[in-house]
Structure 1
Amino acid sequence: MSSSTMALIAVLCVLSALTATGYSFSCQLCVASDQTTCSGVNILCPTNYVCGTKLSNMTISGTSTLTVNRLCSPPDQCNKSGSVTIPGGTVLVGMSCCYTSECNPPMPILSSMTDNSTNGITCRSCLTVNSNECYNSNTIRCTGSETKCLLQNTKITGTQPVTVAMRGCATEDICSFGSQSFNSSSFTSTYNYICTSRSIRTYSLVSAPTLVLFLLVKFVL
């Protein structure tokens, strides 16, 4: 039996024991852009959550921006990575976790988008501000392993409130993130990932303004 398999079994055994009794970890909450680390305050996570690190790499017109977020995470969202294609750009997202109070999750490994061939899936494609909904007749052809149509909406309150919704193509691991909520003394944020497997028959490619995408998607994922 390989060492990686043994480590996975050990983690599952620990989680199984903790879930049976219920547990509350203390984890660090922070967010930062253009770097791969951040620091903040420790908060008490909801029962049965673990400590996670979420890394996003957004590329718009050849320019990439990293965003790192340390947070409380449900165990079923851990150790996954995937991609999203939206009008004018792509976003790679990864989540890693650790399983004790105040632990330091490893930096997630992001997936690579090496397959640019169309896969027969066509999704709605749009981006709206100040709304939880996003719908129009624009579509985008999906490529590679992005076989799901994604509706992702974000609501952030605090000194810089924002509500954003978008549609595009996504890998299955992105869809597994489901709903995520983060709370601190200065802001609250809610992220919802809703996916379907339905393909739209019509096709017209839309390109959103680069500056709008750059400013908004930093908060969205």
Structure 2
Amino acid sequence: MMTSLYGILGVLLALVTSGHSLSCTQCTSTSTSCTGSSVTCSSGNQCGVIYTTTTTGISATASYTMSCLSLNDCSLSGSLTTNGGRIKSAASCCNTTDNCTPTLPSLPGDSTVSNGVTCRSCASASSTWCYTSDTIQCTGNESMCLLQSTQLSGSQSLATAIRGCSTQSFCNFGSQSYSVDGLSTSIKFVCTSGSTGLRKGFYLPAVICLFFLKLLI
């Protein structure tokens, strides 16, 4: 169940960002390419790819999502680590032609160097809240304590929460929501400051993709 939860979060991170009159391919896969229908983007958006990997123990999954992205989202690169696993995500964009294919984004590197920040670490597959005395020592650029919560309602129901060390880029997602195919989704990303010492996390909203719901079955 925890592996499924982290897989879902990986896809969430790929869809938190949303998508000129440029037309772009919209699709999702577990490889490094995909095909899908063409959609018309909002003004100022570009064709983007968000590539995400999720590692839990010896298990690793990936998600590759093409869609319309805002210019700010094209520079996404970040990671989230808990005692149960790690998620890395990065984006790239193009606007040369309609339905152009961006280059595969480069994911953040690994670091074992402590940055002095300690965060709570927990995960829930049945609630938008989790809290525990368990902590994790943050490393590298993951200098923020984050709680990410997801609420899905409609034809299916789902509530998840994950708390751990995060880069600032994930904290910048804030609160997002959308509805598609009879499903309403709300995702929240909330962080505390990354100064040294134990940080207590708060709520943060976000978005979900049905692509990984099968992992919960």
TM-score normalized by the length of structure 2: 0.69
2:140 is the alignment partner of 1:144: yes
**Inter-partner Cα distance in structure 2 for 1:183 and 1:106:** 29
One-letter amino acid of the counterpart of residue 108, structure 1: P
One-letter amino acid of the counterpart of residue 169, structure 1: C
**Inter-partner Cα distance in structure 2 for 1:147 and 1:73:** 26
List runs of 5+ in structure 2 lacking aligned partners: 1-19, 200-211
Which of 11, 22, 26 pairs up with 2:23? Answer: 26
**Inter-partner Cα distance in structure 2 for 1:182 and 1:36:** 26
Which of 92, 106, 112 pairs up with 1:116? Answer: 112
**Inter-partner Cα distance in structure 1 for 2:25 and 2:66:** 6
Spell out, residue by residue over 1:183-216, the C-alpha distance to the aligned partner (whole angstroms, 9 max, x if none): 65586655443322155539xxxxxxxxxxxx88
TM-score normalized by the length of structure 1: 0.68
**Inter-partner Cα distance in structure 1 for 2:114 and 2:76:** 23
Contact 2:116 2:197 in 1 (8 A): no
List runs of 5+ in structure 1 lacking aligned partners: 1-22, 203-214
Specify which structure has the bigger relative contact order, considering alpha-carbon pairs within 8 angstroms and separated by 6 or more residues. Answer: 2
Which of 169, 176, 190 pairs up with 2:172? Answer: 176
Q: State the 1:181 CA deviation.
A: 5.7
Aligned position for 1:88: 84
**Inter-partner Cα distance in structure 2 for 1:106 and 1:158:** 36
Where do residues 70-219 of structure 1 align in structure 2 (5 Å cutoff)? 70-99=66-95, 100-113=97-110, 115-156=111-152, 161-179=157-175, 185=181, 190-198=186-194, 201=198
Contact 1:71 1:182 in 2 (8 A): no
Secondary structure at the aligned position of 1:24 is classed as coil
Spell out, residue by residue over 1:13-32, the C-alpha distance to the aligned partner (whole angstroms, 9 max, x if none): xxxxxxxxxx3332222222
Higher CA-based Rg: 1
Q: Give the aligned CA root-mean-square deviation in angstroms.
A: 3.0
Q: State the 1:172 CA deviation.
A: 2.1
**Inter-partner Cα distance in structure 1 for 2:183 and 2:39:** 13
